[in-house]
Amino acid sequence: MGATRRTVLGAAAALPLVGCSRPAPIIVVGAGVFGAWTAEHLRRKGKAVLLVDQMGPANARASSGGESRMTRGTYGRDEIYTRMARASLEEWKRLSDRSALPLFHDAGVLFCFQEMIDYARDSIAVHERLGLPLQNIANAALGQRWPQMNFEGIEFGLFEPEFGALMARRAVEETVARFVEQGGTYVLAHATPSESGRGLLLDGAPADAEAIVWACGPWLPKVFPAVLGERIFVTRQEVAFIAPPDGDDSFEASHLPGWADFNGGDLYYGFPNLEGRGFKIARDTHGEHFDPDTGDRRMSDTGAASLRAFAERRFPGLAGRPFTEFRVCQYENSSNGDFLIDRHPSLEGAYLLGGGSGHGFKHGPEVGRMMAELVADGTAPDARFSLASKQTVQARSVL
């Protein structure tokens, strides 16, 4: 991606900031998956767009950083996310087809259930309604199809053959690179809000905008403490990679899908050995409060032990295999898991975008489209993405 990085940074030379005769651009602050796709959709609408990030697209501290993200349509009764995942996947696939390296691995996704629960029942109904492929596989057949997994205690699995894994950092970098190639501008800078919704400081220098979208992910509570300090909950999340047995192809994406295990409500999920990185495993339960600037990104001993124990129980072939890598990232949760796509409540011309809540990556293209329509056309998205719907008490309902 060296060439991509150079292209992106090269565009900074043409910055249309203050005091120039051209019309002020729309500024999008934050080149994570939400900001990158918002910038791209605004550009497609013919807008002059300046995308800004303090550390780079999908950087190591951003929630969009890291190797892989699952894309799936199973969302229980929350059909809106199934629709968004499906529409977004089309964009991801188009981008992946044009990219030198794959952005999407169509490995499929398997959700394992200990018993029939509403989430599974509702997912089946939504997929039938939308005509989305979903295979309901009983325990015995699961074992035959994926013999590298131990399905003890699992009653059935729901398998989505058309979904899989997105290569997260690479996908965001590619989105930004395309945006720049097509005429958008990207610059590395730290942004600070001002008292006007259409003004801000970029590395301390004032800049004017037609509108400003603040897509700052886990930094949103710091950027707007009065509005979002108690409405976005940033939590520490730990991820581990384990080396599969040498020469064993049963952990490759050709033989193993992305998977999630409800595990009685304490959900674990992971990926096959994508591009030789190792078998990935993580626990979806929200961790403790985390500061994206100062939080300690070293893996905890208890986290590593619990991920190893789960991996070895469900995937016996991984017993004793070494960890290859750890990552500590953060979720930026809204009160219930619904995204935030809205105007700032008091700053005219400013918009708030975030609340990805541990499941936002796959939806980047659709979230960006919705925010671009709000900014450019005044079209409000679904009410569940409004600021008014965001509470100050965490009560997760979207999974």
Shorter beta-carbon distance to ligand FAD: residue 34 or 251: 34
**How do 164-167 and 104-105 pair as beta strands?**
antiparallel
Shorter beta-carbon distance to ligand FAD: residue 54 or 273: 54
Chain positions 235 to 254 lying near ligand FAD, rule: CB under 6 A, are: 237, 239
Determine, following the binding rule CB under 6 A, whether residue 331 of this chain makes contact with ligand FAD: yes
Determine, following the binding rule CB under 6 A, whether residue 33 of this chain makes contact with ligand FAD: yes
**Which are the contacts of 10, defined by CB distance < 8 A and separation ≥ 6?**
none
Shorter beta-carbon distance to ligand FAD: residue 32 or 157: 32
DSSP state of 347: S
Retrieve residue 94's tokens.
């188009």
**Which are the contacts of 51, defined by CB distance < 8 A and separation ≥ 6?**
27, 28, 31, 35, 36, 39, 176, 179, 184, 185, 186, 187
Structural element, H or E, at residue 372: helix 364-377
Q: Which position among 8, 11, 209, 223 is part of the footprint of ligand FAD (CB under 6 A)?
A: 223
Determine, following the binding rule CB under 6 A, whether residue 35 of this chain makes contact with ligand FAD: yes
Chain positions 76 to 135 lying near ligand FAD, rule: CB under 6 A, are: none
Q: Which position among 26, 191, 274, 281 is part of the footprint of ligand FAD (CB under 6 A)?
A: 191
Burial of 252 (0-12, 13-18, 19+ CB in 10 A): middle
Determine, following the binding rule CB under 6 A, whether residue 234 of this chain makes contact with ligand FAD: no
**How do 109-113 and 199-202 pair as beta strands?**
unpaired
Q: Which position among 282, 318, 352, 370 is part of the footprint of ligand FAD (CB under 6 A)?
A: 282
**Which are the contacts of 38, defined by CB distance < 8 A and separation ≥ 6?**
28, 213, 215, 353, 367, 368, 371, 372, 375
Determine, following the binding rule CB under 6 A, whether residue 330 of this chain makes contact with ligand FAD: yes
Determine, following the binding rule CB under 6 A, whether residue 63 of this chain makes contact with ligand FAD: yes
Determine, following the binding rule CB under 6 A, whether residue 169 of this chain makes contact with ligand FAD: no
Determine, following the binding rule CB under 6 A, whether residue 187 of this chain makes contact with ligand FAD: no
> What's the rounded Cα separation, in Å, for the pair 194 and 113?
49
Q: Characterise 256 by phi-psi region: left (phi > 0), alpha (psi -120 to 50), beta (else).
A: beta
Shorter beta-carbon distance to ligand FAD: residue 70 or 398: 70
Determine, following the binding rule CB under 6 A, whether residue 163 of this chain makes contact with ligand FAD: no
In the complex, the smallest distance separating the C-beta of residue 73 from ligand FAD, rounded to whole angstroms, is 11
∠ CA(63), CA(285), CA(227), 5° rounding? 55
Retrieve residue 175's tokens.
């989105």
Q: Which position among 34, 75, 146, 262 is part of the footprint of ligand FAD (CB under 6 A)?
A: 34
Shorter beta-carbon distance to ligand FAD: residue 66 or 317: 66
Retrieve residue 48's tokens.
């002059």
**Which are the contacts of 118, defined by CB distance < 8 A and separation ≥ 6?**
76, 77
Shorter beta-carbon distance to ligand FAD: residue 154 or 220: 220
Size of the site for ligand FAD (CB under 6 A): 38
Determine, following the binding rule CB under 6 A, whether residue 278 of this chain makes contact with ligand FAD: no
Shorter beta-carbon distance to ligand FAD: residue 134 or 317: 134
Determine, following the binding rule CB under 6 A, whether residue 361 of this chain makes contact with ligand FAD: yes
Q: What are phi and psi of 280, to 5 degrees?
A: -105, 140
By CB under 6 A, name the binding residues for ligand FAD. 29-35, 52-55, 59, 62-64, 69-70, 190-191, 215-219, 223, 237, 239, 282, 329-331, 354, 356, 358-362
